[in-house]
Amino acid sequence: MPVILSPSVLSADFLRLAEEIHDVRGVEYLHVDVMDGRYVPNITFGPKIVRHLSTLGIPLDVHLMIEEPERYIEDFIGAGAHFLTVHPEASVHLHRTVTRIRELGARPGIALNPSTPPQAVEYVLADVDLVLVMTVNPGFGGQRFIEGQLPKIRRLRAMIDALPGPKPLLEVDGGIDPETTPLVVDAGAEMLVAGNAIFGRPDRQEAIAAIRAAAQGR
């Protein structure tokens, strides 16, 4: 299956961000991990960097790992987020948050931690454009893929397929490389985040081609 690729800039060299992103040209999205040091034990960057990234010609898939994301959605959408994804545990009124994201002109997404059940998204599934399954615990790049998440990806695939209307994309994030790609694609994922497996390689175009080939079963 052809996949939608979203390389995670978390693994890029931050001093050379523009050149790093030029190296991954041709990908469908750029995955941008925003962390606040509270929802996850790491801090990255805010809307200012997102605004700069938005000028580089690749639509942004912004993953908010922050508490009370509703306080910042306007800033991140103003900064150019195409997809804006939040975690249900971080936002008490999740339906209001995803509805607001759409009203402000971005495409809402929901992210599930390894311990979060698929039922957490059941009643907002029809209101989002993206469901992101974490296959590592959020906070850091370069962690090991958690294989026990595959049944959850399958379950979400079935839930999404059963929706009568427009269907959100099913994205997987964490430990994706040419070995794990066939597993998640078989389970029904159609959009893949990869940090280390792309920016950690010397030839980024070769790394991208290897993941695309693995998804196609070649």
Among 6, 35, 39, 63, binds Zn ion (CB under 5 A): 63
Q: Examine residue 193 and tell whether it contacts ligand DX5 (CB under 6 A).
A: yes
Interface pattern 51-70 for ligand DX5 (x via CB under 6 A): ------------x-------
Q: Examine residue 61 and tell whether it contacts Zn ion (CB under 5 A).
A: no
Among 70, 173, 177, 190, binds Zn ion (CB under 5 A): 173
Nearest to 180 by CA among 154, 138, 149, 139: 149
Of 161, 173, 177, 203, catalytic: 173
Q: Examine residue 129 and tell whether it contacts Zn ion (CB under 5 A).
A: no
Q: Examine residue 143 and tell whether it contacts ligand DX5 (CB under 6 A).
A: yes
Q: Examine residue 149 and tell whether it contacts ligand DX5 (CB under 6 A).
A: no
Q: Examine residue 116 and tell whether it contacts ligand DX5 (CB under 6 A).
A: no
Looking at 70-78, 91-99, 115-123, 192-200, which segment touches ligand DX5 (CB under 6 A)? 192-200
Interaction partner, residue 196 (Zn ion, ligand DX5, none; CB < 5-8 Å by kind): ligand DX5
Q: Examine residue 173 and tell whether it contacts ligand DX5 (CB under 6 A).
A: yes
Is there a catalytic annotation at residue 33?
A: yes
Q: Cα–Cα distance between 196 and 75 in angstroms, integer?
A: 28
Among 174, 180, 189, 211, binds ligand DX5 (CB under 6 A): 174
Interaction partner, residue 6 (ligand DX5, Zn ion, none; CB < 5-8 Å by kind): none
